[in-house]
């Protein structure tokens, strides 16, 4: 009970901070919107892309961009532990009479909540990309977004145990998050991709997340993996990431 | 199951039984901490009585913060043991944590939240019942003179206000021991003295034991007892009065044209050992040298000194010893010069932290 409450407190603080920060809420939608409406529109009307499964490019990329939103929001939210450390607040939490793992778990859950919320905001823009949404669809997507978000925030917390300052984050962004996003097939169909890219995509967790979202959002889309497999892979990964990151955090803090 | 029992206990009065037996609220025995090769705290032993204001006085890097970190369970001792409020600092961390409040040397507020939210967050972490949180928050805010600012974001607070808010926060869960690691560093004199007023009030109102560190000599005088710590070792531990008496008399400071000659002459004619101090400390101008000597009775020695010295004397003063003198006596160094640099560093660090925020 006390543990549960500790997790809730950490979660509550992060959500308060997030919802107070309007610039961050809407600012983080900036690049997804640019991707869809400028890149999506531009590329879609210039090239004839194969492997879109009968959808136009904007429709095709929308679930991918949704994946991107969750990826970035999730990692950003949980890497905030690094800020907390830098600005001292982490100490206030560490010295409190609650086990350290509750802090890490609280961060993972709050990060996932924030990421899923950002995903839902993004979803509201779906009609502009020619993707039909309904409350039912959102309800179907939400668990999937949470699942993807959990694997990302788990990674974020793990990263935070390694990163001592926010300066190292740029590296992570360029050499980890961006490749993960592009390799996942969020932006283009992997059907015609060269072998090396195709092989990489199989080990990119985001591939499965994006594939699942596409399967759910685009009716009759020919997905890469069966939905059950997507869910299984992302689910296992999330469980693993959460366990590893929470353990690592408790050990080093 | 066993852990649940502990949790249950935390809502009651922690460690009541253990306290009744022992008069001391903190007992430390040969506590030691090494940082790869460096011995930061070296076999310190001491006890702190209930409701005492206990001070750790020492220069930069003496091991004050390290000792506090061990006592509040953030750092594992290399060897030695400690008991706080009847709980072992190594094996009963949760109970120890519930018993203490701490104001860290570096700021630890969430400045995106309001003052009240910071307090509320703290209260929740420390199991303060929901229906008491608001009232306690109002009470501690009033105590540190921030009643009007409760709903403002901490971001908008001055450094001194933040410090006071941190002290208020440390009191939210009615701790048995409040740790204050350099509570007044970088604050103006008014704020410093108002913080001291609060500390004294705490003792009255909350039945609290205060464990603080400082390097301001004048502030250390506010403590019931002081441990002087240097290079990880406690070199003296007593009341400020006794420490000063240990010097046995008064301090005469004297500026002479030729300080060395004056020193030799004093030794020859009076038999007092005097020390030459360069610049910092008591000399008026930084380049000047002064000499300092301890005498049993300043008022009688001074006139003779002035009359009998052949070296030209520019100024002379006599005063009662301060803790500065005690430190100088024990270590051969002055604490002040080091502290001045340190404060500049602290301020720089705080500024940087503030500037970097997003
Ligand atoms: N995490 C650490 N790793 C390595 N060395 C450390 C660490 N923390 C402290 N030290 C070293 O231990 C010694 C004691 O440090 P401590 O912070 O306890 O000093 P202090 O008395 O609090 O000094 P100050 O007045 O500057 O706060 C110093 O030499 C410091 O360099
Ligand atoms: Mg310190």
| Ligand 2: centre distance to CA B347 (Å) | 14
| Ligand 1: centre distance to CA B115 (Å) | 30
Q: What is d(CA B207, CA B174) in angstroms, rounded to the nearest whole number?
A: 9
More confident residue, A122 or B315: A122
Q: Give the CA distances from residue B321 to residues B59, B193, B217, B296, in Å, rounded to whole numbers and listed in that order.
A: 19, 22, 11, 11
Find chain B residues with C-beta within 8 A of A91's C-beta. 74, 104, 106, 108
pLDDT at res. B357? 42
Helix (H, G, I), strand (E, B) or coil at A121: helix
From B61, B336, B350, mutation site for ligand 1 pocket: most ligand atoms within 8 A of C-beta = B61
Quick one: chain A helix, strand, coil %, rounded to 5?
80, 0, 20
pLDDT at res. B318? 86
Radius of gyration of chain B (CA): 23
Helix (H, G, I), strand (E, B) or coil at B271: coil
Of A20, A87, A98, the CB nearest to B125: A98
pLDDT, average across residues A191-210: 89
- Asked whether the beta carbons of A29 and A121 are under 8 A apart, the reply is yes
Of B10, B102, B111, the CB nearest to A95: B102
pLDDT, average across residues B172-179: 91
Helix (H, G, I), strand (E, B) or coil at B48: strand
Using CA positions, which residue lies closest to atom 25 of ligand 1? B60
pLDDT at res. B228? 93
Q: Is the pLDDT of residue B255 over 90?
A: no
Q: How high is the ipTM of this complex?
A: 0.88
Token digits of residue B90: 């190594």
Q: Is the pLDDT of residue A4 over 60?
A: yes
Q: Is the pLDDT of residue B17 over 50?
A: no
Q: Is the pLDDT of residue B54 over 50?
A: yes
More confident residue, B279 or A44: A44
Q: Is there an atom of ligand 1 within 6 Å of B255 CB?
A: no
Strand pairing class (B233-238; B225-230): antiparallel
Contact assignment for A16 to B98 by CB distance below 8 Å:
no
Distance from CA of B76 to the nearest CA of A (A): 12
pLDDT at res. A93? 93
Q: Is the pLDDT of residue A15 over 50?
A: yes
Mean confidence (pLDDT) of chain B: 82
Q: Which ligand has the shortest distance to the CA of B214?
A: 1
- The phi, psi pair for A216, rounded to 5°, reads -75, -40
pLDDT at res. A100? 92
Run of H or E including B101: strand B100-103
Q: Is there an atom of ligand 1 within 6 Å of B335 CB?
A: no
Of A1, A9, A88, the CB nearest to B106: A88
Nearest to B93 by CA among B107, B110, B104, B77: B77
Q: What is d(CA A108, CA A118) in angstroms, rounded to the nearest whole number?
A: 15
Contact assignment for B97 to A86 by CB distance below 8 Å:
no
Contact assignment for A97 to B95 by CB distance below 8 Å:
yes
Q: What is d(CA A119, CA A69) in angstroms, rounded to the nearest whole number?
A: 6
Q: Is the pLDDT of residue B317 over 90?
A: no
B113 touches chain A (CB under 8 A): yes
pLDDT band at B336 (very low <50, low <70, confident <90, very high): low
Token digits of residue B145: 């003179």
Find chain B residues with C-beta within 8 A of A20's C-beta. 112
**Using H for helix, E for strand and C for coil, what is the string for chain B?**
CHHHHHHHHHHCCCCHHHHHHCCEEEEEEEEEEEECCEEEEEEEEEEEECCCEEEEECCCCCCHHHHHHHHCCCCCCCEEEEEECCEECCCCHHHHHHHEEEECCCCCCCCCCEHHHHHHHHHHHCCCCHHHHHHHHHHHHHHCCCHHHCCCEHHHCCHHHHHHHHHHHHHCCCCCEEEEECCCCCCCHHHHHHHHHHHHHHHHHHCCEEEEEECCHHHHCCCCEEEEEECCEEEEEECHHHHHHCCCCEEEEEEECCHHHHHHHHHHHHCCCEEEEECCCCCCCCCCEEEEEEECCHHHHHHHHHHHCCCCEEEEEEECCCHHHHHHHHHCCCCHHHHHHHHHHHHHHHHHHHHHCC
Using CA positions, which residue lies closest to atom 3 of ligand 1? B35
Residues of A near B (Cβ–Cβ under 8 Å) read: 1-2, 5-6, 9, 13, 16-17, 20-21, 86-89, 91-99, 166
pLDDT at res. B8? 34
pLDDT, average across residues A133-142: 91
- Asked whether the beta carbons of A215 and A229 are under 8 A apart, the reply is no
Token digits of residue B176: 């048995």
pLDDT, average across residues B182-197: 82
Q: Which residues pair with B180 in a beta bridge?
A: B103, B212
Domain-wise residue ranges, chain A: 2-252
| Ligand 2: centre distance to CA B179 (Å) | 12
Q: Is there an atom of ligand 1 within 6 Å of B58 CB?
A: yes
Contact assignment for A93 to B117 by CB distance below 8 Å:
no
Burial environment of residue B8 by CB neighbours within 10 A (0 to 12, 13 to 18, 19 or more): exposed
Q: Is the pLDDT of residue B42 over 90?
A: yes
Q: Give the CA distances from residue A58 to residues A33, A47, A128, in Å, rounded to whole numbers and listed in that order.
A: 11, 12, 9
Ligand 1 atom at minimum distance from B64 CA: 21
pLDDT band at A40 (very low <50, low <70, confident <90, very high): confident
Kindly compute the dihedral angle of the four CA atoms of residues B338, B344, B346, B352, in this order, to the nearest 10 degrees: -150
Range of A153-157, B186-190, B329-333 with top mean pLDDT: A153-157
Using CA positions, which residue lies closest to atom 26 of ligand 1? B60
Using CA positions, which residue lies closest to atom 18 of ligand 1? B63
- Asked whether the beta carbons of A249 and A101 are under 8 A apart, the reply is yes
pLDDT tens digits, one per residue of B277-289:
765 444 445 456 7
Alpha helices in A163-226 (DSSP H): 169-172, 178-183, 195-203, 205-217
pLDDT tens digits, one per residue of A97-121:
999 999 999 999 999 999 999 999 9
Nearest to A75 by CA among A159, A183, A161: A159
Radius of gyration of chain A (CA): 18
Q: Is the pLDDT of residue B221 over 90?
A: no
| Ligand 2: centre distance to CA A229 (Å) | 54
Q: Which ligand has the shortest distance to the CA of B59?
A: 1
pLDDT, average across residues B307-323: 83
pLDDT at res. B322? 82
Q: Is the pLDDT of residue A144 over 70?
A: yes
Helix (H, G, I), strand (E, B) or coil at B274: strand
- List the single range of B30-34, B41-45, B81-85, B302-306 with lowest mean pLDDT: B302-306
Q: What is d(CA B100, CA A95) in angstroms, rounded to the nearest whole number?
A: 9
Token digits of residue B150: 């409760």
Using the 8-state DSSP alphabet, how is residue B314 labeled? Answer: E
Q: Give the torsion sign (CA, A37, A38, A44, A49).
A: negative
Token digits of residue A110: 């709050």
- Asked whether the beta carbons of B276 and B331 are under 8 A apart, the reply is no
Ligand 1 atom at minimum distance from B63 CA: 18
pLDDT at res. B224? 94
Q: Is the pLDDT of residue B93 over 60?
A: yes
B94 touches chain A (CB under 8 A): yes
Of chain A, the percentage scoring pLDDT greater than 70 comes to: 99
pLDDT tens digits, one per residue of A158-184:
999 988 888 888 888 888 889 999 999
Contact assignment for A93 to B73 by CB distance below 8 Å:
no
Nearest-5° Cα angle at A98, A2 to B199: 115
- Asked whether the beta carbons of B101 and B173 are under 8 A apart, the reply is yes
pLDDT at res. A120? 94
- List the single range of A5-9, A23-27, B48-52, B284-288 with lowest mean pLDDT: B284-288
Distance from CA of B42 to the nearest CA of A (A): 23
Q: Is there an atom of ligand 1 within 6 Å of B145 CB?
A: no
- The phi, psi pair for B238, rounded to 5°, reads -170, -175
Q: Is the pLDDT of residue A201 over 80?
A: yes
Q: Give the CA distances from residue B34 to residues B27, B70, B76, B230, B231, in Å, rounded to whole numbers and listed in that order.
A: 20, 12, 10, 15, 12
Find chain B residues with C-beta within 8 A of A21's C-beta. 112
Q: Give the torsion sign (CA, B200, B201, B202, B205).
A: positive
Q: Is there an atom of ligand 1 within 6 Å of B56 CB?
A: no
- List the single range of A159-173, B40-54, B79-93 with lowest mean pLDDT: A159-173
Contact assignment for A9 to B121 by CB distance below 8 Å:
yes
Within 8 A by CB and 6+ apart from B190, the residues are none
Strand pairing class (B100-103; B177-181): parallel
- Residue A246: Cβ within 10 Å count: 22
Distance from CA of B152 to the nearest CA of A (A): 13
The structure tokens 């996942």 sit at A184
Mean confidence (pLDDT) of chain A: 89
pLDDT at res. B348? 55
pLDDT tens digits, one per residue of B135-150:
999 988 988 889 999 9
Contact assignment for A96 to B125 by CB distance below 8 Å:
yes
What is the pTM (predicted TM-score) of this model? 0.82
Contact assignment for A95 to B74 by CB distance below 8 Å:
yes
Helix (H, G, I), strand (E, B) or coil at A184: coil
Domains and CATH numbers, chain B: 2-239 (3.40.50.300), 249-320 (3.30.70.260)
């Amino acid at each position: 009970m006390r543990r549960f409450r500790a997790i809730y407190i950490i979660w509550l603080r992060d959500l308060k901070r997030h919802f107070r920060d309007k610039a961050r809420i809407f600012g983080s939608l900036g690049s997804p919107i640019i991707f869809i409406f400028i890149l999506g529109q531009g590329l879609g009307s210039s090239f004839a892309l194969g492997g879109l499964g009968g959808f136009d490019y904007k429709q095709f990329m929308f679930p991918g961009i949704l994946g991107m939103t969750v990826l970035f929001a999730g990692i950003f939210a949980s890497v905030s532990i690094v800020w907390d450390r830098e600005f001292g607040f982490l100490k206030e939490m560490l010295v409190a009479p609650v086990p350290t793992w509750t802090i890490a778990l609280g961060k993972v859950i709050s990060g996932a909540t924030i990421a899923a919320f950002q995903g839902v905001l993004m979803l509201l823009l779906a009609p502009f990309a020619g993707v039909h949404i309904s409350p039912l669809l959102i309800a179907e997507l939400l668990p999937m977004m949470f699942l993807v978000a959990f694997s990302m925030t788990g990674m974020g917390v793990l990263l935070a145990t390694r990163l001592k300052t926010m300066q190292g984050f740029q590296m992570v962004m360029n050499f980890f998050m961006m490749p993960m996003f592009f390799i996942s097939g969020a932006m283009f169909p992997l059907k015609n991709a060269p072998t090396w890219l195709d092989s990489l995509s199989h080990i990119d967790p985001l591939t499965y997340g994006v594939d699942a979202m596409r399967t759910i959002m685009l009716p009759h889309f020919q997905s890469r993996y069966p939905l059950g497999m997507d869910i299984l892979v992302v689910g296992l990964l999330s469980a693993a990431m959460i366990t590893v990151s929470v353990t690592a955090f408790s050990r080093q803090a | 199951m066993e852990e649940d029992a502990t949790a249950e206990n935390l809502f009651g009065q922690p460690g009541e039984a253990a306290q009744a037996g022992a008069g001391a609220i903190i007992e430390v025995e040969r506590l030691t901490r090494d940082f790869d090769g460096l011995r930061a705290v070296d076999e310190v032993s001491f006890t702190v009585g209930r409701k005492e204001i206990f001070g750790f006085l020492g220069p930069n890097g003496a091991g004050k913060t390290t000792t506090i970190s061990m006592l509040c369970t953030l750092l594992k001792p290399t060897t030695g043991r400690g008991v706080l409020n009847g709980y072992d600092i190594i094996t009963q961390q949760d109970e120890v944590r519930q018993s203490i409040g701490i104001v860290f040397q570096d700021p630890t507020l969430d400045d995106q939240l309001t003052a009240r939210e910071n307090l509320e967050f703290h209260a929740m972490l420390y199991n303060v019942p929901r229906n008491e949180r608001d009232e306690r928050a109002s009470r501690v805010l009033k105590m540190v003179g921030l009643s009007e600012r409760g709903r403002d974001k901490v971001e908008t607070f001055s450094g001194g206000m933040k410090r006071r808010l941190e002290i208020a926060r440390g009191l939210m869960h009615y701790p048995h021991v409040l740790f204050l690691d350099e509570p007044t560093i970088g604050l103006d004199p008014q704020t410093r003295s108002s913080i001291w007023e609060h500390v004294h009030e705490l003792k009255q109102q909350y039945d609290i034991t205060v464990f603080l560190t400082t390097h301001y000599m004048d502030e250390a005088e506010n403590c019931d007892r002081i441990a002087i710590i240097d290079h990880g070792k406690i070199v003296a531990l007593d009341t400020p009065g006794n420490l000063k008496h240990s010097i046995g008399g008064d301090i005469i400071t004297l500026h002479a044209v030729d300080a060395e000659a004056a020193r030799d002459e004093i030794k020859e004619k009076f038999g007092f050992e005097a020390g030459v101090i360069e610049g910092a400390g008591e000399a008026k101008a930084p380049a000047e040298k002064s000499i300092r000597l301890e005498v049993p009775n300043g008022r009688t020695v001074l006139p003779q000194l002035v009359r009998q010295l052949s070296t030209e004397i520019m100024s002379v003063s006599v005063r009662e010893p301060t803790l500065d003198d005690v430190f100088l006596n024990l270590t051969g160094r002055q604490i002040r010069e080091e502290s001045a640099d340190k404060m500049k560093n602290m301020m720089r660090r705080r500024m940087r932290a503030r500037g970097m925020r997003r």
